[in-house]
A = this chain, B = another copy of it.
Amino acid sequence: MMDCKNALTEAGGDGAKAEEILRVKMGNKIGKLAGRETSEGTVQAYVHATGKVGVLVQVECNTDFVAKNEDFVDFAKDLALHIAASPQTKYVTEEEIPQADKDAEARVFEQQAADKPENIRPKIVEGKLKAWYKDVVLLDQEHVNGDKHDGKTIEQLRADLSAKTGENVVIKRFTRFAVGE
């Protein structure tokens, strides 16, 4: 509320301008939230009933209070379940993919698009790269339990949880073991 008032004062009573100022201010706040170092958190696991697949995840936040929060723990458990059902997942973020691997994929996609008009080739390659990210990058994937999570991506669920808890939420790492691998 203080931010709203300040924004209105700064905008000299101009509602539209106040909203703009507010968005800039809130944007900074969200940015700060995202950057806050996480040292607390939870480790959770999911093992399929068959015992053939298991996943371990570590999700971090800022305080032990939130780490013990039911929503936070449930997010981590649901994340482990999602990864168990998504064997192609390799990275948490796009940034984790080695540049050489990105370049190699892009080269393949460029060759696949070689018979398409030159002016639309970059768009085709970009589309294929995005589809590939969805395969291998956890944050880009829609949660496998779409009914429960309204078809949201892991990143959206993470951001929702961050907003709800008021803390930075970071998926730090995961491991997936499967029998026969």
Contacts and interface: CB of A to CB of B under 8 A. Distances in A.
A122 B42 CA distance: 45
Give the interface size class of chain A. Answer: 20 to 34
A44 interface: yes
Contacts of A48: 43
A137 interface: no
B179 A43 contact: yes
Contacts of A145: none
Contacts of A92: none
Contacts of A179: 39-43, 58, 60, 67
A4 interface: no
A54 B47 contact: no
A54 B46 CA distance: 11
Contacts of A51: 42-44, 67-68, 73, 76
A180 interface: yes
**Which DSSP category, helix, strand, loop or mixed, fits chain A's interface?**
strand
A154 interface: no
Interface stretch (A10-18, A127-135, A170-178): A170-178
A47 B43 contact: yes
Which among A39, A46, A52, A173 has the greatest number of chain B C-beta atoms within 10 A? A52
A45 interface: yes
A39 B178 CA distance: 11
Contact of A43 (B42, B53, B73, B76): B53
Given A41-B179, A42-B179, A44-B54, 13 more contacts: A39-B180, A43-B47, A43-B51, A43-B177, A43-B178, A44-B51, A45-B46, A45-B54, A51-B67, A56-B56, A57-B177, A58-B177, A60-B179
